[in-house]
Amino acid sequence: MEKVLDLRGAVCPIPVLKTKEALEGLDKGEVLEVLLDYPPAKENVKRFVQSQGHEVLSVEEEAGLIRLRIRKK
């Protein structure tokens, strides 16, 4: 199952904090999809996730929407 976290409209540090909270609520191996529209959040969330040992499965951008898929380790 994949959980979706819609953070469109949120600016840093909110996307990182909300992603951290969402990952804490997942079981190992589950996937979290994070939706962003604030470009600096893409790198901030990605960097945070990797620093915590989780896996960034994909980063897609289309028409101002950034979609990160993260697997909890």
Q: Known catalytic residues?
A: 12
Q: For residues 57 and 22, what is the distance between their CA atoms, to the nearest angstrom?
A: 16
3-state secondary structure of 59: strand
Exposed, middle or buried by CB within 10 Å (0-12, 13-18, 19+), for 63? exposed
